Amino acid sequence: MTVSSKSTIFTTRSMAKIAILGAVAAVLMMFEFPLPIAPSFYKLDFSEVAVLVGGFALGPAAAVAIEALKIILNCLFNGTNTMFVGELSNFVIGCAMCVPAALIYTRNKTKQTALKGLCAGTLFMTVAGVAMNYFVAIPAYVAIAHYPLDAIIGMGAAIFPFIKNTFQLVLACVTPFNLIKGVLVSVITMLLYKHVSPLLHK
């Protein structure tokens, strides 16, 4: 990331765009739904589309700012039922997709590099999702929220009977969940970006 890309997010115009995209992302985050391949507490939303659009137009630092603003607004308006564990995971996993994608795209703004960035971002998000769930989110739910680990694993086993432990749960449920999310978000971003980017470059 160059010095110029860092500084552009602090202009009044850029900060206004970040605020708007953060609000859009927060609204999109409200429309979430589960997938049949994962326990119902894993819900898919398309808020990362707004983050990616902002990252492509304004750079990776803006993507981080939009992602953070999305989480803050969601907590302010909807509160948290995960003691902020879910929100932290959402932020880290979202940045894991959007920051690499924006870094790759802003170096050479072509359709091919956008696609490469989105593919890389999806892979990074999938790896981050596995790491965050295995090392942070699930242990935190058990330790802080006192949610029984056996119950969490049991929800995964109800979908895939071979699941017997946390690692198998994360591998069988979280990995395909994030891959599917990454592909869907990437497709929508590719379809939308060229239509909305002129508004963000004014």
Quick check: 4 pLDDT over 90? no
pTM score, whole prediction:
0.89
Q: DSSP for the chain?
A: --HHHHHHTTSHHHHHHHHHHHHHHHHHHHS-EE-TTS-TT-EE--HHHHHHHHHHHH-HHHHHHHHHHHHHHHHHHH--SSTTHHHHHHHHHHHHHHHHHHHHHHHS-SHHHHHHHHHHHHHHHHHHHHHHIIIIIHHHHHHTS---HHHHHHHHHTTSTT--SHHHHIIIIIHHHHHHHHHHHHHHHHHHHHHHHHHHT-
pLDDT tens digits for range 154-188: 999 999 999 999 999 999 999 999 999 999 999 99
Q: What percent of the chain has pLDDT over 90?
A: 77
- Tell me what pLDDT residue 8 has: 62
- What distance in Å separates the CA atoms of residue 32 and residue 20, rounded to the nearest whole number? 20
**pLDDT, position 202:** 65
Tell me: pLDDT of 2 over 80: no
Span 76-92, pLDDT tens digits:
988 877 778 888 999 99
pLDDT above 70: residue 6? no
Q: How high is the pLDDT of residue 126?
A: 97
User: Would you say residue 3 has pLDDT above 70?
Assistant: no
Q: Tell me what pLDDT residue 7 has.
A: 44
Model confidence pLDDT, tens digit, residues 108-139 = 999 999 999 999 999 999 999 999 999 999 99
Neighbours of 88 (CB within 10 A): 17
What average pLDDT is seen over the chain? 91
